[in-house]
Amino acid sequence: MLDPKLDLGELEVSLENRYVELQSLRAGGQGVVFSAKRTLNSRREAVDDHVALKIHSGATENVRVDREIAALHGFDHPCLASLVEHGTLSLNGEQYRYVAWRFIHGTALDERLKGGPISAKAVACVGRDVARAIDHIWQKRIVHRDINPKNIMLSPREDSAVLIDLGVARFLDLRVLTAAGRTWGTPGYFSPEQWYGPGENLTCHSDVFTLGVSLQEALLGRHPTLGDQQTLLNSRTPTSTLCPTAPAALAAIIDSCLHPRPVFRPMPSALASDLARLAAELL
């Protein structure tokens, strides 16, 4: 496993000093993410890129990393992180995979919400952009599976958002990697079908559900069930009850995302259009 407290100087050397000025941003089960300046590309040509650099924890998920990289190679969308480079490094006798993305200026939504809820207009903007990202990856039959505030980057003006981290995405056209009885994602955000059913049955409607939970959280400034997955699936408390000051149209859209049956949730393209219109109307 990669030590999140590793010596950054050693890490820069292991990266052939092509990535410098490393600063740790976030550590998790899949690895550690750093902010970095890339001075040379893989062909040793001079560049000046600001990137988010993820060092994966080990070699056990190589197939999953390969799938994420393959997906990112085909994406060029303003609401999704753009792949810059990937490779392998050697550190303390161990081999690690790394992936670098275009650095997104802003704040992870979960960090922003520590300071309180965002405005209804900002919530509509977040929903619009993440729905656009869901729609884009669904065109390649990919389900993100882990949409939640930590994987949404909010712009400094809070008028746009970018969806990040396809590390646990489900690729419907490829064989299932997840063992039977196990599901990837973050408890407290799972759709009913993701929580109860086999992963191969997931569609973009599952990502729409997890987006709905995230939008409720953004309105409230806290998770609607304080992270309790079973309460989330059982309570179905209307958004207007959780947040009486929310615009009725926004509350209705969010509630539509949280319908227990996937077929009754909006398609991401329609959801993005509805939220774009609403965002333009809200002050």
Count of residues for the chain? 283
The pLDDT of residue 229 is above 90: yes
Mean pLDDT, residues 207-219? 98
Is residue 121 domain-shared with residue 44, that is, in the same domain? no
Output the average pLDDT for the chain: 90
- Do 174 and 83 lie in one domain? The reply is no
pTM of structure: 0.90
**CB-neighbour burial class of residue 231 (10 A; exposed 0-12, middle 13-18, buried 19+):** middle
84 and 202 assigned to the same domain: no
Choice between 170 and 161, residue whose per-residue pLDDT is larger: 161
**Closest to 186 (Cα-Cα) out of 207, 163, 156:** 207
What would the pLDDT profile of 247-273 be if each residue is shown by its tens digit?
Answer: 999 999 999 999 999 999 999 999 999
pLDDT band at 6 (very low <50, low <70, confident <90, very high): confident
pLDDT at residue 181, rounded to an integer: 45
Whether residue 176 is predicted with pLDDT greater than 60 in this model: the reply is no
Are both 198 and 266 inside the same structural domain?
Answer: yes
Residue 2 lies in a domain: no
- On the question of pLDDT at 280 being above 60, the answer is yes
Are 125 and 77 in a shared domain?
Answer: no
> For residue 197, what pLDDT is reported?
77
d(CA 214, CA 224): 9
Of 80, 102, 124, the last residue of a domain is 102
Question: Looking at residues 35-63, what average pLDDT do you find?
Answer: 86
Instruction: List pLDDT tens digits, range 53-110.
Output: 999 876 545 666 777 777 677 778 999 988 899 989 988 888 888 999 999 999 999 9
